[in-house]
Amino acid sequence: MQCGAPSEIFSSKNHGLAKAVLAYDLHLLEGKVRHLGTENNLTIMKHLYEFLKDKITMIYNQRVTKINIGKGEFSLELGSPEKTVSSHYLVAAPGRAGSEWFSGQCRELGLPLFNNQVDVGVRVEIPAEVFSHITDEVYEAKLVYRTKQYGDLVRTFCMNPKGYVVAENTDGIITVNGHSYHDEKLHSKNTNFALLVSNRFTEPFNEPHQYGKRIASFSNMLGGGVLVQRFGDLIKGRRTNEHRMAQSFTTATLKATPGDLSLVLPKRHLDNIIEMIYALNKIAPGMANDDTLLYGVEVKFYSSRLKLTNQLETEIPNMFAIGDGAGVTRGLSQASASGVYAARTILERMGKK
């Protein structure tokens, strides 16, 4: 807030929508959202930097090649130029793009890892009016559904009312995401959100991160990046082409390659997503229209998870792991909250407030 975040808060706690969606076996998760808006993020980051620059040392564009454990001390070997940074406490927050790197470091340190889930799905884009009765009230509706066919969980994620669909590069793999602005003058006519299917793997498979990458690479292979398909074409078993896209009443906010998602996503994932769309159509008529746009693929990469204490501390004393890349959280606000939580624990151990 001190760095420029807007004051308005949306909440789904004790909201009547929760009861309404239960009638269709959809479950609304309780939560509060402060919508920052894409255009405000840079301003907030600048203010954070100005506050911190005289208080801490910040090093940029450096790869940590190795984490070493000494007697009551950590040392980080940095790549270019070669140097070492030492500390009494260490917080690892590698982010999703660094999750594979972090898993490798943990193995070298002898820290046991256990398989985490991978979330694979599509980003849906619809006219904003279809979901306006929901987004006007709670802004981001986190809805969870267990499919009848497979018993798998499908959830909505990262809902962007009047937002934009964007391409995202993760380790050279192009996936899809979404964002929205706070300023009404920058709004689009569409709402977008992800539909994600969660998979948790058991032995002998232990590379969920690679599984998600491989699926995303199919989309890149067929479309040179992000694919887009009309829901009506998917149901009819035909590829969306430029002509059918041009006839669509829903105008895409991302220039993507028209294609066929059934050649990219596994059948189980696709069946789950289709069933979820029909379930959502009961609470938001128009969701299952032919011109609903599906972009693929959206993948949320999570690291294999570490064994952590309630303070987010690893089995190595005074080494903490936080955020999505450590397999602890599932989103931006939770990742940042885990950082605050770890910092408070460290301050307490240092005898400071």
The span from the CA of 58 to the CA of 49, in Å, is: 10
The answer to which of 18-22, 169-173, 261-265 has the lowest mean pLDDT is 169-173
The span from the CA of 21 to the CA of 280, in Å, is: 9
- Best-predicted range by mean pLDDT (4-18, 31-45, 123-137): 123-137
Q: What is the pLDDT of residues 29-87, one digit of tens each?
A: 988 888 889 999 999 999 999 999 999 999 988 889 999 998 889 999 998 767 899 99
Share of the chain above pLDDT 90, in %: 67
Given a cut of 80, whether residue 179 has pLDDT beyond it is yes
Residues for the chain: how many in total? 353
The span from the CA of 314 to the CA of 316, in Å, is: 5
**The pLDDT of residue 53:** 96
The answer to which of 3-17, 162-176, 202-216, 287-301 has the lowest mean pLDDT is 202-216
Given a cut of 80, whether residue 197 has pLDDT beyond it is yes
**The pLDDT of residue 115:** 67
Confidence band of 142 (pLDDT split at 50, 70, 90) = very high
Q: Which residue has the higher pLDDT, 112 or 319?
A: 319
Given a cut of 90, whether residue 329 has pLDDT beyond it is no
Contact 275, 149 (CB under 8 A): yes
Mean pLDDT value of segment 138-163: 95
Domain ranges of the chain: 10-34+117-300, 59-114+305-349
| Domain 59-114+305-349 falls under CATH 2.30.42.10 | no
Identify the sign of the CA torsion 214, 215, 220, 223: positive
Contact 188, 135 (CB under 8 A): no
Alpha helices in 81-198 (DSSP H): 99-108, 128-138
Take residue 192 and report the two structure tokens written for it.
């977008």
Given a cut of 90, whether residue 236 has pLDDT beyond it is yes
Q: What is the pLDDT of residues 238-266, one digit of tens each?
A: 999 999 999 999 999 999 999 999 999 99
SS3 16: helix
pTM above 0.85, yes or no: yes
Listed in sequence order, the residues at least 6 apart from 101 whose beta carbon sits closer than 8 Å to its beta carbon are 94
Give the HSE-up count for residue 186: Cα atoms under 13 Å, Cβ half-sphere: 12
What rounded mean pLDDT belongs to the chain? Answer: 91
The answer to which of 2-11, 67-76, 197-206 has the lowest mean pLDDT is 197-206
- E strand intervals along 70-216: 74-78, 83-87, 90-92, 113-114, 117-127, 143-146, 153-160, 164-170, 173-179, 190-200
The span from the CA of 322 to the CA of 331, in Å, is: 12
Say how many C-beta atoms besides its own lie within 10 A of residue 1's C-beta: 8
Listed in sequence order, the residues at least 6 apart from 14 whose beta carbon sits closer than 8 Å to its beta carbon are 30
**The pLDDT of residue 303:** 59
